[in-house]
Amino acid sequence: MTEANYAVIAASLRGERMGRAVADWATGRIAAVGMTADLIDLAEISLPDDELLQPGGAGPTEIAPRIDRADAYVIVTPEYNHSYPAGLKRAIDWHYREWMFKPATVLSYGVQGGLLATEHLRGVLAELHVVTTRRGVGLTTPWYDLGPAGYAPPDGVAKAFDLALGELAWWAETLRHARRDRPYIQR
């Protein structure tokens, strides 16, 4: 379907998180539509101490090459106190060039779909020249859909995600070519 590389970013760091089950489902769904995704689970990596942070990152970090390699991102995030988790903000802030001029789809979840996390992310990602797709997916109380085989979404969720992936794939190819053929010169 596409030559672009995708990364799924699982944002929750909690020991009893449900985010990993959602991220596993999303990664499987991406593979099912013929795309390849690297699952970057923020709970499985460590970032340097923020004491060392500089404008524009300060890397390299252990995930910088994986963020760099991806042409597009699916960000799987819970809503915490009407925003996204601090661990995700750290992962964003520790990288800069790696994110630039790429698209992202947000797959949020929470009591009411986690859409406030999505809206906060859109503004932050815009600062890094990351385009968020118009469509995202907001999962309402997905913990009720967790079974022994993992996350089993209600009817309609897979279709909604596939539509968002269609947008993401368009942006991924468009910006992949633009980065190669017409690189933006920062002034």
Ligand X SMILES: Cc1cc2nc3c(=O)[nH]c(=O)nc-3n(C[C@H](O)[C@H](O)[C@H](O)COP(=O)(O)O)c2cc1C
Note the residues at the interface with ligand X (CB under 6 A).
Answer: 12, 14, 17-19, 78-82, 110-112, 114, 143
Cβ closer to ligand X: 18 or 53? 18
**Smallest Cα–Cα separation from 161: which of 18, 8, 29?**
29
Cβ closer to ligand X: 69 or 82? 82
Q: Could you tell me if 1 and 31 are in contact, meaning their C-beta atoms sit under 8 angstroms apart? A: no
* Closest residue to ligand X using C-beta atoms: 110
Distance in Å, CB of 78 to ligand X, minimum: 3
**Residue that has been written with the tokens 């910088």 in this structure:** 64
Distance in Å, CB of 52 to ligand X, minimum: 26
Separation between Cα atoms, residue 158 and residue 28, nearest integer Å: 11
Cβ closer to ligand X: 12 or 133? 12
Cβ closer to ligand X: 13 or 33? 13
DSSP string for residues in 86-105: HHHHHHHHT-SGGGTTEEEE
Cβ closer to ligand X: 114 or 153? 114
Distance in Å, CB of 85 to ligand X, minimum: 7
Distance in Å, CB of 15 to ligand X, minimum: 9
Separation between Cα atoms, residue 124 and residue 45, nearest integer Å: 22
Torsion from C-alpha of 11, 145, 7, 175, nearest 10 degrees: -110
Distance in Å, CB of 70 to ligand X, minimum: 21
- How far, CA to CA in Å, does 38 sit from each of 5, 30, 35, 50? 8, 10, 10, 25
